[in-house]
Amino acid sequence: MSTRSEHFTTGVRLPCLAVIVLGMSSAAAAELPATPWAWYGGDEYGRRYSPLAQITPENVADLEIAWTYSTGEVERRGPELIQNSSTQSTPLVVDGKLLVCTPFNRLVALDPASGDELWVYDAEIDLSFELPFQYNCRGVAVWNDAEAEAGAHCASRVLMGTSDARLIAVDLDDGQPCRGFGSDGVVPVPSEPGTEFPGERKLQAAPLVVNDIVVVGSSIMDNLRTDAPRGTVHAFDARTGKPAWQFDPIPRSADDPAWETWHDGSAARTGAANVWTGMVADAARELVYLPVSSASPDFWGGERPGDNLYSSSLVALDAKTGTVRWHFQHIHHDIWDYDTSSPPLLADIRRDGKTVAAVIQNTKQGFSFVLDRETGKPVFGVEERPVPQDALEGEWLSPTQPWPLAPPPLVPTKVTPDDAWGFTPWDRRACRKRIEELRSEGIFTPPSTAPGTLLSPGTAGGMNWGGAAFDPASQLMFVNVSNAPQVVTLVPREEIPDVKGISLVGGRDTAEGRGTPYGVRREWLVSPSGAPCVPPPWGELVAVDMAAGEIVWRVPLGSIEKFLPFRIPWTMGTPNIGGPIVTAGGLVFIGAAMDDKLRAFDVEDGEELFVKRMPAGTQTTPITYAADGRQFVVIVTGQHLWFGSTVGDEIVALALPREAISDQKLPRR
List, for residues 431-456, the tens digit of each pLDDT value: 999 999 999 999 999 999 999 999 99
pLDDT at res. 501: 58
Given a contact cutoff of 8 angstroms between Cβ atoms, the answer to whether 600 and 610 are in contact is yes
| Per-residue pLDDT, 20 | 28
Break the chain down into helix, strand, coil percent, rounded to 5: 10, 35, 55
Q: Inform me whether the pLDDT recorded for 88 exceeds 90.
A: yes
Report the percent of the chain where pLDDT is more than 70: 91
CA dist 277 and 292 (Å) reads 9
pLDDT band at 14, cuts 50/70/90?
A: very low
The pLDDT tens digits for 93-102 are: 999 999 999 9
**647 to 85, 135, 421, 637, 640: CA distances (angstroms):** 10, 14, 31, 8, 8
Answer whether 57's CB lies under 8 Å from 637's CB: no
Q: Is 476 helix (H, G, I), strand (E, B) or coil?
A: strand
Express as a percent the part of the chain with pLDDT over 90. Answer: 82
Q: Is 337 a catalytic residue?
A: yes
Closest-CA residue to 489 (of 443, 522, 442): 522
The predicted structure's pLDDT at residue 565? 55
Rounded average pLDDT over 204-225: 94
Of 202-211, 264-273, 403-412, 563-572, the poorest mean pLDDT is in: 563-572
pLDDT of residue 12: 35
Evaluate if residue 378 carries a pLDDT over 90.
yes
Q: In Å, how far are 94, 346, 439, 499, 543 from 546, measured between CA atoms?
A: 30, 12, 35, 45, 9
Tell me: the pLDDT tens digits for 311-359?
999 999 999 999 999 999 999 999 999 999 999 999 999 998 999 999 9
Whether the Cβ atoms of residue 494 and residue 598 lie closer than 8 Å to each other: no
Q: Quick one: average pLDDT of 559-579?
A: 78
Of the pLDDT bands very low, low, confident and very high (cuts 50, 70, 90), residue 509 is confident
Please state the pTM of the whole predicted model.
Answer: 0.94
- pLDDT, residue 211, reads 94
pLDDT of residue 512: 85
Amino acid occupying residue 57: P
326: three-class secondary structure by DSSP: strand
Position 665 scores a pLDDT of 53
User: Counting Cβ atoms within 10 Å, is residue 553 exposed (0-12), middle (13-18) or buried (19+)?
Assistant: buried
pLDDT at 80 over 60: yes
Assess whether pLDDT exceeds 70 at residue 223: yes
Q: Which of 530 and 402 is assigned the larger pLDDT?
A: 402
Q: What is the mean pLDDT of residues 301-310?
A: 98
Quick check: helix, strand or coil at residue 471? Answer: strand
Q: What is the pLDDT of residue 11?
A: 32
pLDDT at 129: 80
> How far from 523 is each of 299, 315, 341, 520, CA to CA, in Å?
14, 31, 20, 10
- The mean per-residue pLDDT over the stretch 115-125 comes to 98
Active-site option among 307, 337, 339, 602: 337
Mean pLDDT of the chain: 91
Phi, psi of 435 (to 5 degrees): -65, -40
How many residues belong to the chain?
669
pLDDT value at 423 more than 50? yes
**CA-CA distance, 159 to 151, in Å (whole number)?**
19
Q: How confident is the model at residue 224 (pLDDT cuts 50, 70, 90)?
A: confident
